[in-house]
Amino acid sequence: MALLNNEQVASQIGDFVENAVGKRLSRPRRKPSNLGPKPRKKTWYAVPLEKGLSGDGSEYHIYVSKGTTDKLCIILSGGGVAWNDFTAARPVTGGRVAAGLPNYYWNNLRPFTQIMNIHIGITDKRNPLNPFADWNCVVITYSTGDFHIGQSTMSYVDEEGKDATLHFHGYENFRESMKVAKKLFPNPSQILLAGNSAGAFAVPALAPDVKEDFYPDCQSITLFSDSGQLLYADWAKTARDLWHAKEEIVAPLCSDNITLDWYRDLYRRYGDAFQYLYGSSVRDYLLSTYYNDMAHKVYGTNSEVQEIFYQQLCTMVKELKELNPHFTMYLYDMTIPGITQGGTVHTALKELYFTTMKSDGVTMAKWLNDATTGNLYDVGLSLLDSEH
């Protein structure tokens, strides 16, 4: 009997843990029930979408919760990105993560993904420190690797040599989700459109749909992208040729900074019709890993690539401020030993520390809530290089 190496052992342990957690979450007491005609307030419900589709072709659902106010929070979830055949063939699994193997995106909504979407951070309805607990909320889940904008399919060969298909179905999933939001919450007085990680990139790309097609009468829409920096020279090619995003979304892409390009176009078209917010940790260990892979074909991070990410962030913050002086920032430098690999955390919006982590003495929860009331101020700019 062949002995297993450390990587194989770690992979098996990771898969075992994920499956065990998934089984617990599948039990009736832990699994959100389907939405009925009279949903209880501050309770999460799963809503399957008939036209929805996950990346591997499996079912797709979102989560909704009715609050005690007429305010609406729309969350664009994160979960990685696939930009070529190699990345498409390596979706996230517990085993891959545990073994440190390349893993790029979630390709389905297996029970384990519930812990990334509800009862955590801004979606924790039971946390008295969460100022958004009383808001109506729609969590647009993510399992397509396309920043919520794809409209295509691609064929690839998986690691076992089998033919497979990846459904870049993010845009239709988003549109169908917004139909549910509009039906449940037709006239919100205020909207927060926020995204973490992959969802952060999508916020400026999809904000026009939210405003024009679903909530044209809402006069108070705040946008927040948490952790949306990943420089790559071929974003336009990926969005057009691989994901087949609609041309209105692709056309603004002219640089290696996809988020900045989309915000520039959004501000050009809408000006101050939105409030604009951006957040990031300063040496994001995960986004620096992705950047290293894109730039150098190395899946991993270290102090050198984290410093590159930091310098890119300094430039990005400066450019967003030049675009709109009222573009409001929350920057943070939290680390987690054994996780962040010498860098800083990846996102805070849907993390346990959303209400407790402080930068300049202020939590992200307080800063974000203040911003939605019109009290705009920057947090963490002292973390940036003074030359920027």
Q: What is the DSSP string of 109-144?
A: --GGGGGGTSSSGGG-TT-TT-TTTTSEEEEE---S
10 pLDDT tier (thresholds 50, 70, 90): very low
364 pLDDT tier (thresholds 50, 70, 90): very high
- Please state the pTM of the whole predicted model: 0.94
Residue with tokens 């950047």: 291
Both tokens of 208, joined, read: 């026009």
Both tokens of 300, joined, read: 């991993």
Question: b/e per residue, 300-325, with b = 16+ CB within 10 A?
Answer: ebeeebbebbbebbbbbbeebbebbe
1 pLDDT tier (thresholds 50, 70, 90): very low
pLDDT in tens, 288-302: 999 999 999 999 999
pLDDT at 127: 97
Is 21 or 56 the better-scoring residue by pLDDT? 56
Q: Where are the alpha helices (DSSP H) in the chain?
A: 6-25, 85-88, 94-99, 170-184, 198-209, 235-237, 247-250, 258-270, 285-296, 303-323, 364-372
pLDDT at 321: 98
Q: Is the pLDDT of residue 11 over 80?
A: no
| For range 329-347, the mean pLDDT | 97
Residues ≥6 apart with Cβ < 8 Å to 59: 48, 52, 53, 109
38 pLDDT tier (thresholds 50, 70, 90): confident
Q: Is the pLDDT of residue 14 over 80?
A: no
pLDDT at 12: 56
% of the chain at pLDDT higher than 90: 84
Angle of helix 258-270 relative to helix 303-323, nearest 10 degrees, comes to 10
pLDDT at 5: 58
Residue 232 main-chain phi, psi, to 5 deg: -160, 130
pLDDT in tens, 99-138: 788 999 999 999 888 999 999 999 999 999 999 999 999 9
pLDDT at 22: 57
Residue 127 main-chain phi, psi, to 5 deg: -90, 115
Sheet order of strands, 136-140 included: 44-48, 61-65, 136-140, 71-76, 190-196, 221-226, 274-281, 328-332
Q: Give the bridge partners for 165, in sequence order.
A: 155
The residue type found at 23 is K
Task: Count Cβ atoms within 10 A of the Cβ of residue 274 and give its class: 0-12 exposed, 13-18 middle, 19 or more buried.
Answer: buried
Give which of 10, 15, 167 is closest to 92, Cα–Cα.
15
pLDDT at 30: 65
How far apart, in whole angstroms, are the C-alpha atoms of residue 38 and residue 8? 48
Contacts of 308-312 spanning 24+ positions with Cβ under 8 A: 309/229, 309/283, 309/284, 309/343, 310/282, 310/283, 310/385, 311/385, 312/229, 312/231
pLDDT at 386: 64
- What value does the mean pLDDT of the chain take? 92
% of the chain at pLDDT higher than 70: 91
pLDDT in tens, 161-178: 899 999 999 999 999 999
Q: Report yes or no: 21 and 115 within 8 Å, Cβ to Cβ.
A: yes
Under CATH, which architecture does the 45-379 domain have? 3-Layer(aba) Sandwich (3.40)
Both tokens of 112, joined, read: 């384990």
Task: Count Cβ atoms within 10 A of the Cβ of residue 217 and give its class: 0-12 exposed, 13-18 middle, 19 or more buried.
Answer: exposed
Angle, alpha carbons 286-381-277 (nearest 5°): 70
| For range 242-263, the mean pLDDT | 98
Count other Cβ atoms within 10 Å, centred on residue 151. Answer: 16
pLDDT at 17: 53
| For range 45-56, the mean pLDDT | 97
21 pLDDT tier (thresholds 50, 70, 90): low
How far apart, in whole angstroms, are the C-alpha atoms of residue 167 and residue 173? 11
